[in-house]
Homo-oligomer: A and B are copies of this chain.
Amino acid sequence: MALMTGEQYVESIRKLNLNIYMFGEKVENPVDNPILRPSLNSVKMTYDLAQMPEYEDLMTAKSNINGEKINRFAHIHQSTEDLMKKVKMQRLCGQKTAACFQRCVGMDAFNAVYSTTFEIDKAHGTHYHENFLKFLDYAQKNDLTVDGAMTDPKGDRGLSPSKQVDPDLYLHVVERRPDGIVVKGAKAHQTGIVNSHEVLVMPTIAMGPDDKDYAVSFVVPTDAEGILMIIGRQSCDTRKLEGCPLDCGNTEFGGVEALVVFDNVFVPNDRIFLNGETEYAGMLVERFAGYHRQSYGGCKVGVGDVLIGAAALIADYNGAAKASHIKDKLIEMTHLNETLYACGIACSAEGVKTESGNYIIDLLLANVCKQNVTRFPYEIARLAEDIAGGLMVTAPSQKDLESPVVGKYVEKYFRGVNAVSTTDRLKALRLIENLTLGTAAVGYRTESMHGAGSPQAQRIMISRQGNINGKKALAKAIAHIED
């Protein structure tokens, strides 16, 4: 089948029998739901761009599994060049959607599971890698979107999985059968789940011997029996229901998050990638997190490009573009955004080959990348709000603009430079609002903070990877301190 078109992808999702709840009600037709559709459109963009010749080199790759031309989101990275192209692809998708396009988690899960299963099999004589290759071949050939599901609800952060009052606060095996396993639990903050064909589950932390049932990784269809999704609320979510595109800022694209409940879901043996080898849970988490921290050096940069562009636009529309402080703020925004990109590129260029043959990013630099992502988008957003002016949060609604009674006042009093229509000025302001306070702020701010692990998780990795003893030795040599 090779590559799907965007439309084919949408129809393939329509065919799924997903069990989705939102605002306490079952969503019967998620594909056409006004709140969910923009999120689907973002994933669709990953299919659309792959069809365009100008993006072919970035958006597609040749599979190392079956030799076919596949979407890069399903690719196992074969070189540092592949790792760099991944980041560029993500920046492109961010620029085209100004939102989270969700398909990265699957790609990052593929590459982490690929190398980790290889090493488990080598150590334990298991067949996880073979299982995974079979699934991957299927996913590549059918151009599937796969949700990589890692984050458990976690309950009391002070307690390990097996010590929680409720044993289900981390997903775990509740039954072992000859033909497979039954799992129970949930995964939180799942960005792409409602737009995915399959969900690939991984553990969320390194584990000790007591956590054996929690060390489990597998893949199942998103409409498997026992799976249920509950959509999370986003800031300004219901604006999409009002029929007022102007007020939305970004009407076409978005992203949503869901809690995915696994209520005694059966997993057949050949779809299991980890099952009780607790000592490998940490490796899988570390590698997935590493890849995903790299990802943020692409996707958030692309979204940042749009926000910088919107800020430059509103400066034009306000008649303020020539003020030196405005120019300086746009430079600072660009500087910060490109610093993130530099980190994404650097951890890729410094990537290394794993035992299994695929390439993994430099873990230290990938964590440095993500750590900066927990800071700079906030400052970029702050500067955008500075440039935009207060109107970005006090502008009236589209309905006011269109009102026969008060529309003329809105039209008259919210005009900036005379050459630009009030409507265009409001569009630019609403886009900035969307990215700094609205639905997209969830992705651009809070998920920049917590996605792929909260800031402290990166600091722990930076501490581990920073070779502080090597640095002490350097200092001793210079200072002539003998051991």
| Dominant secondary structure of chain A at its interface with chain B | helix
Determine how many copies of this chain the complex contains. Answer: 4
Q: How far is the CA of A39 from the CA of B474 in the complex (A)?
A: 19
Q: How far is the CA of A392 from the CA of B189 in the complex (A)?
A: 10
Residue interface bits A448-483, CB-to-B below 8 A is 1, else 0: 011100111001001100101011111111111100
Instruction: Give the Cβ gap from A157 to chain B, nearest Cβ, in Å.
Output: 4
> Does A468 lie within 8 Å of B409, measured CB to CB?
no
Residue interface bits A350-374, CB-to-B below 8 A is 1, else 0: 1000000000000011001101101
One of A106-114, A123-131, A245-253 contacting the partner:
A245-253
Q: Can you report 5 A-B residue pairs in the complex whose CB atoms are below 8 A from each other? A: A158-B319, A168-B412, A252-B478, A306-B474, A342-B343
> Does A479 lie within 8 Å of B442, measured CB to CB?
no
**Range of interface residues on chain A?**
35 or more
Given contacts A312-B471, A323-B456, A392-B446, contact A397 B462 (CB under 8 A): no
> Does B305 lie within 8 Å of A474, measured CB to CB?
yes
> Sorted from nearest, which 7 A-B pairs have the closest CB atoms?
A309-B471, A24-B399, A309-B475, A349-B349, A232-B394, A342-B346, A156-B319
Q: How far is the CA of A416 from the CA of B343 in the complex (A)?
A: 34
Q: Besides the contacts A378-B378, A427-B479, what 14 more A-B pairs have beta carbons closer than 8 Å?
A: A24-B397, A96-B474, A155-B319, A168-B412, A230-B396, A232-B393, A308-B471, A310-B478, A313-B472, A324-B325, A331-B462, A389-B454, A390-B454, A431-B475
Q: Which residues of B contact A382 (CB under 8 A)?
A: 375, 378, 445, 449
> Does B466 lie within 8 Å of A189, measured CB to CB?
no
> Does A325 lie within 8 Å of B456, measured CB to CB?
yes
Q: How far is the CA of A374 from the CA of B448 in the complex (A)?
A: 22
Q: A265: CB under 8 A from chain B?
A: no
Q: A186: CB under 8 A from chain B?
A: yes
Picked from B369, B431, B446, the residue with its CB within 8 Å of the CB of A479 is: B431
Instruction: Give the Cβ gap from A444 to chain B, nearest Cβ, in Å.
Output: 11
> Does B309 lie within 8 Å of A158, measured CB to CB?
no
One of A63-71, A141-149, A215-223, A333-341 contacting the partner:
A333-341
Interface residues of A in 167-195 (CB under 8 A from B): 168-169, 186, 188-189
